[in-house]
Amino acid sequence: MSDEQPTASQPGSATLDALPSPLDSVDGSRATARWIIASTGAVGALLLGGGPLLAVGRITDWEHGLWAGAGLLLALSGVAWALWRTSDVLVPAVMTPAQLDSPALRGLREQFDAAPWYYFGSVATSLDDLLRHRQIAANIAALLRSAEPGDRDALRRSLLTAHRNIAKTDPYLRWVLATAHAWQVRETLHRARRHTFLGGVLVIAGAVTFLSATAGRH
């Protein structure tokens, strides 16, 4: 093979090592998610506290009882929905090269395409270019298993070259995967915030319904 990449000790790799880790932002995102969960849980505890039970005691007919029950159920559903969606941020995730093609990472791929030199340094010009040495090594290994004895030495030399290129591109691949993981956690948090807002709307609607059903009933 004739396209051997620059060594990992060159300035591009050193600059990569000096950059802040993308994973540093993950703890911040998850701390925000924990705060949302704690706040939402407090709302749920309030809804299940003694106040609603005392208000239910003022209901004397089944119609208002149904409205009060529906309102309380709606409010609790809003709390449960917000908790469920926000907890997704805390679920440990594994990022693989295959996941880089997922729709959730489209914005990140656009950034890769806009500034490949920043993410891949001098070892690659795109994600496919960054990963191609692994595919080359796999193809050579497959050929080596069924090759004639006279062809094996050349294939072994090519496989060693592919492995050297993999060793040089792997630091960039790990950094890209770390960036993608942090991006995925951030996007999950953004979705959780939207769902928490919708859950809050349900809580307000349920609370208004409950209070309307129980107000002034003796």
Segment among 44-58, 72-86, 89-103, 123-137 with least mean pLDDT: 44-58
First to last CA, the chain: 88
Top pLDDT among 68 and 57 is at 68
Helices (H), ranges, 88-148: 106-114, 116-120, 127-146
pLDDT band of residue 218 (cuts 50, 70, 90) is very low
Q: Are 157 and 142 in contact (CB under 8 A)?
A: no
Number of C-beta neighbours around residue 84 at 10 A: 12
Residue 54, pLDDT score: 64
Largest alpha-carbon pair distance within the chain? 98
DSSP for residue 101: G
DSSP class of 139: H
Structure tokens at 143: 């050929």
Quote the pTM value: 0.73
| 198: phi then psi, degrees, rounded to nearest 5 | -65, -40
* Cβ atoms of residues 203 and 75 within 8 Å: yes
Question: Quick one: tokens of 180?
Answer: 């993608």
Residues 165 and 163: their CA atoms lie apart, in Å, by 5
For residue 44, the model assigns a pLDDT of 79
Q: What is the mean pLDDT of residues 196-209?
A: 89
Q: Between 124 and 7, whose confidence is greater?
A: 124
